[in-house]
């Protein structure tokens, strides 16, 4: 199928269509488990002449299975380019280190994944890259934070774990007028639920570890780009000058598993989103629950924004019980759902953000990020919704 025709396919078809492997005609792409590749005189000369992605050089620089994953990601994310990375954090680090230099400034939402927040708040400051944290749902606050040296606006399409939804179009318009690159992390939504590049975002980072892989068995990441502001070969530039130097390539086996995961992304998410909506509505009426955050609920602070930019509301939700002890008691008493870090798998997983991913962040700062001590974050899996409700109700009855 030619590129144009493939580009016009609908999401479900793009996710499963893989061109046949030229050497074997295999329906599934082969895994190339090689860390190095044999040159001959001609190949050697091509490398000397500056060819990179079209010749296989060394596993840290790229691998055919990883390139195949990049093709599949471009198709489902609507991207012009993709760079696969060892993890979601590698995608974030490579993007930011590739875009920024000493003296640059970032405007970022208060609520992001804890390691992202710490990277911006501590690591990048060591290299004289400063971040102003704001509420990106408040466009005036974003505007006020922009400085002459602002290079990037960064947010999560559905923020971890507050479930905040930032208004993408106004942010993109503001960035456009100021020559700023908009980067967003789409991990909580996944490309099935939300495709930010279609809304004018320049770069999307994904922790493929989560919904894209979908089975809690591998770690991986991806950087996807469609941008008028950046050079067309920007991701190839950062492949060579940043990803290869940091040593953050995606392993071939993980790339192969991710290609497999993409093929069932929409069927998994279709069910997971429906179950999440039912669970959220159930928690909203539960007497032991103080609050529920799910973009599909009318009570969600950015429900109207979510409705205007997301065809689905996702499979992640957060609810709050009276305090951290009660939250721990609930999770310890769940039998069907697992009490576990990470998200996006076939099993429903739960965690307490204040006691787990965000434990190193002082309570005052956590509250500013919208993270309360009694919050429980739920990644909804593929179990029967009634079994899940019974499991949560039994655990909530213990507090
Ligand atoms: C929103 C978000 N972004 C990025 C990451 C980092 O992904 P990885 O663990 O694949 O590095 C996570 C991890 O939980 C996350 O929740």
CA distance 181 to 138: 18
- Per-residue pLDDT of 333-369, as tens digits, reads 999 999 998 999 999 999 999 999 888 889 998 998 8
* Over residues 244-254, mean pLDDT: 97
Q: Which helix (H) or strand (E) holds 169?
A: helix 168-178
N- to C-terminal Cα separation, the chain? 58
Helix, strand, coil percentages, rounded to 5, for the chain: 40, 15, 45
CA distance 56 to 54: 7
Ligand 1 atom nearest residue 159's Cα? 1
CA distance 44 to 33: 21
Q: What is the pLDDT of residue 360?
A: 87
Mutate to test the pocket of ligand 1, among 96, 154, 209 (most ligand atoms within 8 A of CB): 209
Q: At what angle do helices 265-284 and 252-263 cross, to 10 degrees?
A: 70
Exposed, middle or buried, 48 (CB in 10 Å: 0-12/13-18/19+)? exposed
Mutate to test the pocket of ligand 1, among 95, 113, 250 (most ligand atoms within 8 A of CB): 113
- Per-residue pLDDT of 60-108, as tens digits, reads 999 999 999 999 999 999 999 999 999 999 999 999 999 999 999 999 9
CB 88 within 8 A of CB 209: yes
CATH number of 266-396: 3.90.1150.10
C-alpha 221 to ligand 1 mean position (Å): 9
C-alpha 87 to ligand 1 mean position (Å): 8
pLDDT of 370 higher than 90: no
C-alpha 225 to ligand 1 mean position (Å): 19
Q: What is the pLDDT of residue 3?
A: 85
Q: What percent of the chain has pLDDT over 70?
A: 100
Q: What is the pLDDT of residue 139?
A: 96
Mean pLDDT in the chain? 96
Mutate to test the pocket of ligand 1, among 88, 163, 222, 343 (most ligand atoms within 8 A of CB): 88
CA distance 98 to 237: 8
CA distance 355 to 339: 12
Q: Is the fold of 3-263 the same as that of 266-396?
A: no
Question: Edge-to-edge strands of the sheet including 316-320?
Answer: 291-293, 316-320, 375-379, 349-351, 338-339
The residue nearest atom 9 of ligand 1, judged by CA position, is 88
**DSSP assignment letter at 9:** S
* Partners of residue 132 on adjacent β-strands: 107
pLDDT of 317 higher than 90: yes
The residue nearest atom 7 of ligand 1, judged by CA position, is 88
Ligand 1 atom nearest residue 220's Cα? 10
52: pLDDT confidence band, cut at 50, 70 and 90? Answer: confident
Q: Write out the DSSP string of 265-330.
A: HHHHHHHHHHHHHHHHHHHHT-TT--EEE-TTSTTSTTHHHHHHH-SS--SEEEEE-SSHHHHHHH
Ligand 1 atom nearest residue 343's Cα? 14
Mutate to test the pocket of ligand 1, among 207, 340, 379 (most ligand atoms within 8 A of CB): 207
C-alpha 5 to ligand 1 mean position (Å): 33
CB 313 within 8 A of CB 193: yes
C-alpha 257 to ligand 1 mean position (Å): 18
C-alpha 11 to ligand 1 mean position (Å): 24
Q: Give the number of other CB atoms < 10 A from CB of residue 40.
A: 7
Q: What is the pLDDT of residue 67?
A: 96
CA distance 139 to 260: 39
CB 241 within 8 A of CB 264: no
The architecture in CATH of the region 3-263 reads 3-Layer(aba) Sandwich (3.40)
Q: What is the pLDDT of residue 375?
A: 97
Ligand 1 atom nearest residue 341's Cα? 14
C-alpha 352 to ligand 1 mean position (Å): 15
Read off the tokens for 91: 């995608």
23: pLDDT confidence band, cut at 50, 70 and 90? Answer: confident
C-alpha 177 to ligand 1 mean position (Å): 30
Read off the tokens for 210: 């989560």
Smallest CA-to-CA distance from 255 within 84, 16, 93 is with 84
C-alpha 90 to ligand 1 mean position (Å): 9
Domain boundaries, the chain: 3-263, 266-396
CA distance 385 to 381: 9
- Per-residue pLDDT of 106-118, as tens digits, reads 999 999 999 999 9
Instruction: Give the alpha-carbon dihedral of 365, 95, 311, 11, to 10 degrees.
Output: -150
Ligand 1 atom nearest residue 219's Cα? 10
C-alpha 21 to ligand 1 mean position (Å): 31
Q: Give the number of other CB atoms < 10 A from CB of residue 361.
A: 19
Q: What is the pLDDT of residue 151?
A: 98
Ligand 1 atom nearest residue 160's Cα? 1
Read off the tokens for 300: 């969600």
**DSSP assignment letter at 344:** -
Q: Write out the DSSP string of 234-263.
A: HHHHHIIIIIHHHT-PPPHHHHHHHHHHHH
Q: What is the pLDDT of residue 54?
A: 86
Q: Any idea what the Cα angle at residue 394 is, between residues 393 and 397, rounded to 5°?
A: 85
- Per-residue pLDDT of 151-168, as tens digits, reads 999 999 999 999 999 999
Q: What is the pLDDT of residue 4?
A: 87
C-alpha 89 to ligand 1 mean position (Å): 6
Ligand 1 site residues, Cβ closer than 6 angstroms: 87-89, 113, 156, 160, 185, 187-188, 207, 209, 219, 221, 342
Ligand 1 atom nearest residue 210's Cα? 10
Q: What is the pLDDT of residue 22?
A: 86
């Amino acid at each position: 199928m030619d590129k144009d025709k493939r580009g016009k396919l609908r999401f479900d078809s793009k996710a499963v269509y893989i061109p046949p492997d030229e050497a074997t005609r295999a329906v599934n792409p082969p895994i190339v488990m090689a860390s190095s590749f044999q040159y001959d005189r001609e190949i050697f000369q091509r490398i000397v002449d500056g060819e990179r992605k079209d010749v296989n050089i060394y596993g840290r620089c790229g691998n055919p299975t990883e390139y195949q994953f990049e093709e599949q990601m471009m198709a489902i994310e609507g991207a012009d380019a993709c760079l696969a990375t060892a993890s979601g954090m590698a995608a974030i680090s490579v993007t930011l280190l590739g875009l920024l230099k000493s003296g640059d400034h970032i405007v970022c939402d208060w609520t992001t994944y804890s390691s992202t927040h710490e990277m911006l708040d501590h690591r990048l400051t060591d290299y004289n890259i400063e971040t102003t944290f704001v509420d990106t749902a408040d466009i005036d606050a974003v505007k006020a934070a922009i400085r002459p040296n602002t290079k990037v606006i960064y947010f999560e399409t559905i923020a971890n774990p507050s479930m905040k939804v930032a208004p993408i179009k106004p942010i993109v318009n503001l960035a456009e007028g100021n020559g700023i690159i908009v980067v967003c992390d789409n991990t909580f939504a996944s490309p099935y639920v939300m495709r930010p590049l279609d809304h004018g975002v320049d770069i999307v980072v994904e922790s493929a570890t989560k919904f894209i892989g979908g089975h809690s068995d591998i770690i991986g990441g991806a950087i996807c780009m469609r941008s008028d502001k950046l050079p067309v070969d920007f991701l190839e530039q950062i492949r060579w000058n940043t990803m290869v130097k940091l040593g953050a390539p995606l392993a071939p086996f993980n790339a192969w598993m991710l290609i497999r995961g993409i093929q069932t992304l929409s069927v998994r998410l279709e069910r997971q989103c429906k179950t999440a909506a039912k669970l959220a509505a159930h928690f909203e009426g539960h007497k032991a629950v103080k609050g529920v955050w799910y973009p599909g609920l009318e009570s969600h602070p950015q429900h109207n924004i979510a409705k205007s930019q997301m065809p689905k509301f996702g499979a992640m939700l957060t609810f709050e019980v009276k305090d951290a002890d009660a939250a721990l008691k609930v999770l310890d008493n769940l039998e069907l759902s697992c009490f576990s870090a990470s998200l996006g798998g076939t099993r429903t997983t739960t965690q307490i953000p204040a006691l787990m991913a965000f434990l190193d962040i002082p309570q005052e700062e956590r509250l500013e990020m919208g993270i309360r001590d009694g919050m429980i974050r739920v990644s909804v899996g593929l179990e029967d919704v009634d079994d899940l409700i019974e499991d949560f109700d039994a655990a909530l009855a213990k507090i």
